[in-house]
Amino acid sequence: MSEQINIEVVYALSHEQALLKVRVPQNSTVADAIRLSGILEKYPDIDISKNKLGIFGKLSKADAILRDKDRIEIYRPLIADPKEIRRQRAEEGKVMKKGGGEL
């Protein structure tokens, strides 16, 4: 029998978070562990070919080999582009700072 390692799979929505502790065979990939965890059945909106994946906050590929005690994170797509939001706030700030109107 092959050695088993302990890993965690996490996925967060705005209203709930899932953290699953799973034992997987040594030399499993990120994708293998996600499938074995059962999280895809609980959250069918996850698509491991499209969602970004990470291990402890660092982006990772689905074929990366796991180590004991790794935490796999499944990231959701952004709702808004952070750069665009900052640009809009900067524009609003310029309008407000220009003074109290024309004389």
What are the residue ranges spanned by the domains of the chain?
A: 4-97
Q: What CATH number does the domain located at 4-97 have?
A: 3.10.20.30
The Cα 103–Cα 101 span in angstroms is 7
Q: How far is CA 86 from the centre of its chain?
A: 22
The Cα 88–Cα 73 span in angstroms is 30
pTM for the structure as a whole: 0.73
pLDDT bin (cut points 50, 70, 90) of residue 99 is low
- Find out whether 7 and 66 touch, Cβ atoms under 8 Å: yes
Cα atoms found within 13 Å of the Cα of residue 92, Cβ hemisphere only? 6
Q: How far apart are the first and last CA of the chain?
A: 84
Q: pLDDT tens, 51-89? A: 999 999 999 999 999 999 999 999 987 776 778 778 888
